[in-house]
Amino acid sequence: MDIHHKIDEAKIDAGMLRIKIGDRVVEKALKELSPLLANASDSELNCYQVSPSGYGIHWPLLDEDISIDGLLGITHEPAPWKKSA
């Protein structure tokens, strides 16, 4: 099952990533997400792209990606027909 998220707001401030998805707000310390993000400059952090489908956030200057499902704690099981014998 593909889940698409509509990210209403994404903000980075004082070492924290804050995203609003519908009525849910998620805040995570950058150091919990990625050493690259935790050590990046403000200009690198503020240059990000939210994927149109809502799958994730990409920082092109750092070549770093964060999954929205991961931020929300959503895990996926492989489809039964994809499991190996």
* Domains annotated on the chain, with CATH: 7-82 (3.30.2020.40)
Q: Counting beta carbons within 10 angstroms of the beta carbon of residue 74, is it exposed (0 to 12), middle (13 to 18) or buried (19 or more)? A: exposed
Span 28-78, pLDDT tens digits: 999 999 999 999 999 999 999 888 777 888 999 999 998 888 887 777 677
**Structural element, H or E, at residue 72:** helix 68-72
Give the pLDDT of residue 82. Answer: 64
Question: What Å distances lie between residue 53 and 15, 22, 33, 44, 50, CA to CA?
Answer: 26, 14, 21, 23, 8
Q: How far apart are CA 78 and CA 81, in angstroms?
A: 8
Model's pTM, two decimal places?
Answer: 0.75
Give the pLDDT of residue 84. Answer: 61
